[in-house]
Chain A
Amino acid sequence: LQAAPEPPKEDGRPKWDNKFQYILSCIGFAVGLGNVWRFPYLCQIHGGGAFLIPYFIALLFEGIPLLHLELALGQCLRKGSIGAWNTISPYLGGVGVGSWMVSVLVSLYYNTVLTWVMWYFINSFQEPLPWSACPLNENRTGFNEECYESTAVNYFWYRKTLNITPDIAESGTFQWWLILCLAACWAIVYLCTIRGIETTGKAIYVTAIFPYLVLTIFLIQGLTLPGATEGLIYLFTPNLNTLKNPRVWLDAATQIFFSLSLAFGGLIAFASYNPTKNDCEKDAVTVAIVNSMTSLYASIPVFSVLGFKATTAYWDCLDRNIINIINEFDLPEESIMRQNYTSWISFLNSSYPEKIAGLKLKSCNLQEFLDQSVSGTGLAFIVFTQAIILMPGSQAWAILFFIMLFSLGLSSMFGNIEGVFTPLLELQIIPKSAPKELLSGIICLISFLIALCFTLGSGSYWIDIFDRYAGSVPLLVIAFFEVIGVVYIYKIKRFSEDVEWMTGRKLNLFWQITWRFISPLLLLIVFMAFVTLQMQKPPSYTAWNPKYEGFPMKEEKVYPPWVQAICVLLAALPCVCVPLVALFHLVKQKRRSKDPSFASPEIFSCQGANR
């Protein structure tokens, strides 16, 4: 009787339907809103094509090694972040707890950004688009004052969507329309994550692939718009002088780090559902390269559209000046066109200088319009929406754009929620007999209730705070401890044996060098530079205050002390978990070592558990 080949050990852990689902989930998690609205902005302000140099160096020495580390860790240990770090060493359990906390905090505010996207999406079905024109004031003699002084797009964003208060200390009221959209967003997240990767694995096919389709459509459309080439030339013209500024290198390193969604625990959770004999090295390289290529690919339509917007604004500026001149001098229509504007201006300036001066013409400079760079929500909800109004068929473009943003954000939310869900499932917060649907329902309900704070008038200020403090510094700290923990506590020799066993070939020298020295060093430098830059000036924010003298410019304000305390708390809480848990275990160990019947726990080995 011939012995049948031993089947892989069945531990009842859910698994991916196929490898493609796993890769797509990792890519979807990594590719998010930042690829569309942060990377092009950084490219623009840091010397165009020249920014790609520090970006790819950071990708090579920081992004890919850390990604490989996390995927290998999750695959080997087959547990979520908290369980995995507890297994490596109970003293490092804090790293898992820290990353779990960061996932919770980020999920809360990230879904609120999706709420805004959803609000814009459901408003895109109107003809004309609600952000295209100002509403009238009460007695219908003119336009609403706040709208008139800024622009219709700004008004729709700050007043009709956020109903923003002039100060973070003023909470304002709950915006019921945002609450509705928030409920819908959390319902969608619940729908997709209801049974863990069983359901997200199906949903990811749509949410990860759809954005690429829309980006391609926008690429084709964007390239046909007038002024697109100016925008692209402006974006990609390299200015190598910017590389002398250390700020550029720091921004490249932080962009790569946050873009790949490292240290959230979500990647560890995804990889833990893999079969152990899987080539995690190839996966890591694939995911990282696809993420960076997506950033580059997305910046092309973004900049075509921005170039189009700048050109249109420039033409509008010229046209306004031309009309003023024609009216003043009673010249026939179409005598001055955009092409001969400069010659006419010089002629008129020489013959009637006082009249020209009296007109107070604005100087129209295309470069100035191109220089107006925006990132983040400003890019999507103000600049892009304004550009969409100018395109023919604006409803369709608006709908496509916001669905794309929603899918990008949703696929990242899956990773965030998985980083929260998997450790809780393993810790058995709910009894094993209870269905998984209950746990995901509880997570979504509690998150929805807490996130209601972000629907207040001051909500967007709080989201900025969460983004700047909870979603930045703790991740760097956790990633640093991750690398140090694996390399020096789990021991790199053991880990490379594990990875060899999983991938089937010897660990490349490149990984040894980067894991041991380069990545921790880079992380340390980035962390210190980041913190130093934050500490240089007192933390401030810009507020939208219609009563400000410089309105429509935003008012620069300093955070009140209680808000600053919350900022510090948000940044410190996940970080402080690491030493706290280590201390807790040290104390426990000291107490246990006095107990003679206690046997030391056996040392975990990736191969031992799975052979």
Chain B
Amino acid sequence: MLRALLLILSVVAIAHAELCKPDAQNAFKVRISIKKALGDNAYAWDANEEYLFKAMVAFAMRRYSSKSTTQISNVLLCNVTDRVSFWFVVTDSSKNVTTVPGSEVEAAIRMNRNRINNAFLLSDKTLQFLKITSTLSPPVEPSTPVWLIVFGVVLCLIVAGIVFLIVSGIQKHKKKNKESTERENLEEKVEVTLENGIPCEALDLKAGRVNGVFAADDERFTSL
């Protein structure tokens, strides 16, 4: 009885070893760079992390195919190196000793890549599935390009400056013109003709001018 059990187990083990090896059909290589991602907070890759990985892959398969038949034991890891890199396959428990087609695994991983990355605190670059390319996220673009806004600000300042300078130039020009005409008027007055030291304009030639010498005598005459 015991012997039969041992035989079955060894057969299964060998079968598994056959399924999971480098460059096997439907196998994927994974490369993890924990130190690059986390630096001083890097954790060590040990059997527990491997367990988590198997769990995440099983989770991905379940979520993708929506049937809850994939177990953690279906995910096989092998050739773990110090790098940390390893190969894995997902076996199909319904069909004996076969692996789930690579395309299905790929699609499942792609769909849940974000969850898998976050479980390990890694990113697409530090948790690499070598045959599975990731879609790149587009850069964030604001609705109006930033440079247009800055340009608008700069242009407004320049135009304001130009308008200010032109207006002040015109005002200065007007003031200079007004000043020069005022000065001309003043100069004209200085050239006025003089009569006995009195400018002719002051002499109201029509009405005549009261001679102050005689005007004062008016008061000496008594009123009639």
Contacts and interface: CB of A to CB of B under 8 A. Distances in A.
Interface of A: 118-119, 122-123, 125-126, 133, 135-136, 140-143, 177, 180-181, 184, 187-188, 190-191, 194-195, 199, 326-327, 330-334, 435, 437
B124 to A, nearest CB: 14
B210 interface: no
B169 A330 contact: no
B138 A125 contact: no
Interface stretch (B7-15, B29-37, B88-96): B29-37
Given A133-B139, A191-B161, A125 B166 contact: no
B154 A330 contact: no
Contacts of A133: 139
Interface in B159-214: 159, 161-162, 165-166, 169-170, 173
Nearest to B165: A194
Given A141-B135, A191-B158, A333-B84, 8 more contacts: A133-B139, A141-B136, A184-B158, A187-B155, A191-B161, A194-B169, A327-B83, A330-B82
A140 B154 contact: no
Contacts of B135: 140-141
A122 B165 contact: no
Given A122-B150, A136-B138, A184-B158, A194 B166 contact: yes
B81 interface: yes
A530 to B, nearest CB: 39
Given A125-B150, A435-B169, A187 B81 contact: no
Contacts of A180: 151
Nearest to A120: B147
Nearest to A119: B147
B83 A122 contact: no
Nearest to A121: B150
Contacts of B84: 332-333
Given A126-B146, A140-B136, A331 B154 contact: no
Interface in B111-150: 133, 135-136, 138-139, 146-147, 150
A330 B81 contact: yes
Contacts of B170: 435
A122 B136 contact: no
A333 B33 contact: yes
B31 A331 contact: no
Nearest to B142: A126
B98 interface: no
A333 B83 contact: yes
Interface of B: 31, 33-36, 81-85, 133, 135-136, 138-139, 146-147, 150-151, 154-155, 158-159, 161-162, 165-166, 169-170, 173
B139 A194 contact: no
Given A187-B155, A191-B165, A136 B36 contact: no
A220 B108 CA distance: 53
B35 A334 contact: yes
Contacts of A331: 82-83
Nearest to B164: A191
Contacts, number: 76
A567 B130 CA distance: 56
B154 A333 contact: no
Contact of B158 (A122, A187, A327): A187
Contact of A140 (B34, B83, B138, B150): B138
A330 B84 CA distance: 7
In the complex, the 5 A-B pairs of residues with the closest C-beta atoms, listed nearest first: A330-B81, A332-B82, A122-B150, A330-B83, A122-B147
Nearest to A137: B136
A143 B173 CA distance: 60
Question: Is chain B's binding surface mostly helix, strand, loop or mixed?
Answer: helix
Given A135-B139, A199-B165, A326 B83 contact: yes
B127 to A, nearest CB: 13
B144 to A, nearest CB: 12
B147 A123 contact: yes
A188 B158 contact: yes
Contacts of A181: 151
B158 A195 contact: no
A330 B85 contact: yes
A330 B83 CA distance: 5
B82 A437 contact: no
Contact of B169 (A118, A123, A140, A195): A195
A68 B166 CA distance: 36
B147 A437 contact: no
A122 B36 CA distance: 35
Nearest to A188: B158
B83 A125 contact: no
Contacts of B138: 136, 140
Contacts of A190: 162
Contacts of B173: 435
Contacts of A141: 133, 135-136
A434 to B, nearest CB: 11
B151 A122 contact: yes
A331 B136 CA distance: 28
A120 to B, nearest CB: 10
Contacts of A330: 81-83, 85
Contact of B136 (A142, A177, A437): A142
9 contacts: A125-B147, A184-B155, A187-B155, A191-B158, A194-B166, A333-B33, A333-B35, A334-B35, A435-B173
B102 to A, nearest CB: 19
For A123, A140, A191, A326, which residue has the most chain B Cβ atoms within 10 angstroms? A191
Contacts of A122: 147, 150-151, 154
A142 B138 CA distance: 10
B70 to A, nearest CB: 28
A327 B31 contact: yes
B155 to A, nearest CB: 5
A122 B34 CA distance: 39
A140 B136 CA distance: 6
Contacts of B34: 333
Nearest to A127: B146
A187 B83 contact: no
A526 to B, nearest CB: 40
Nearest to B162: A191
Nearest to A180: B151
Contacts of B81: 330
Contacts of A195: 165, 169
A437 B162 CA distance: 10
A160 to B, nearest CB: 10
A141 B151 CA distance: 33
Nearest to B32: A333
A122 B154 CA distance: 9
A136 B169 CA distance: 52
Nearest to B163: A191
A180 B165 CA distance: 22
A331 B83 CA distance: 5
A125 B146 contact: yes
